[in-house]
Structure 1
Amino acid sequence: MSRLLLFNKPYGVLSQFTDAEGRETLANYIDLPGVYPAGRLDRDSEGLLLLTDDGKLQQKIADPKYKKWKTYWVQVEKQPDETALQQLRDGVTLKDGPTRPAQVKVIDEPALWPRTPPVRFRQNIPTAWLELKIREGRNRQVRRMTAAVGYPTLRLVRVSIGEWGIQGIAPGEWQEQHI
Structure 2
Amino acid sequence: MSTLYLLHKPYRMLSQFTDKQGRATLADVIDVPGVYAAGRLDYDSEGLLLLSDDGSLIHRIAHPRHKQPKTYWVQLEGQINDEAMNALKNGVTLKDGPTQPAKARRIAPPAIALRDSRIDPKRHPTTSWLELTISEGRNRQVRRMTAHVGFPTLRLIRAAIGTWQLGDLAPGEWRKQTLHAPRPTKSSKRSGAPRHRHSK
TM-score of the aligned structures, taking structure 1 as reference length: 0.96
Query: Helix, strand or coil for the counterpart of 2:87?
Result: helix
Which residue of 1 is the match for residue 53 of structure 2?
53
Listed as ranges, the matches of 1:57-136 within 5 Å are 57-122=57-122, 125-136=125-136
> Which 10-residue stretch deviates more, 153-162 or 90-99?
90-99
User: How far apart are 1:121 and its partner, in Å?
Assistant: 1.9
Structure 1 gap segments, 5+ residues each:
none
Instruction: Check conservation: 2:77, 2:124, Cα contact below 8 A.
Output: no
User: How far apart are 1:123 and its partner, in Å?
Assistant: 6.5
**2-side partners of 1:73 and 1:135: how far apart?**
15
**2-side partners of 1:50 and 1:124: how far apart?**
32
Structure 2 gap segments, 5+ residues each:
180-200
Instruction: Check conservation: 2:6, 2:48, Cα contact below 8 A.
Output: yes
Q: Which amino acid aligns with 1:13?
A: M
Could you give the per-residue CA deviations for residues 82-128 of structure 1, whole angstroms, max 9, x where no partner exists?
Answer: 11111111111111111111100111111110101112223674110
Instruction: Check conservation: 2:112, 2:170, Cα contact below 8 A.
Output: no
Residues 1:50 and 1:124: Cα distance change in structure 2 (over 3 Å) = closer
**2-side partners of 1:75 and 1:143: how far apart?**
10
Moved over 3 A (4+): none
Instruction: Check conservation: 2:72, 2:157, Cα contact below 8 A.
Output: yes
- Asked which structure has the greater RCO (Cα within 8 Å, sep 6+), the reply is 1
User: How far apart are 1:37 and its partner, in Å?
Assistant: 0.5
**2-side partners of 1:29 and 1:110: how far apart?**
23
User: How far apart are 1:59 and its partner, in Å?
Assistant: 1.6
Instruction: Check conservation: 2:77, 2:151, Cα contact below 8 A.
Output: yes
Listed as ranges, the matches of 1:4-23 within 5 Å are 4-23=4-23
Highest CA radius of gyration, 1 or 2?
A: 2
Listed as ranges, the matches of 1:136-151 within 5 Å are 136-151=136-151
Count of aligned positions: 179
Residues 1:23 and 1:123: Cα distance change in structure 2 (over 3 Å) = closer
Could you give the per-residue CA deviations for residues 44-95 of structure 1, whole angstroms, max 9, x where no partner exists?
Answer: 1111000011122112211222121111000001111111111111111111
Query: Helix, strand or coil for the counterpart of 1:84?
Result: helix
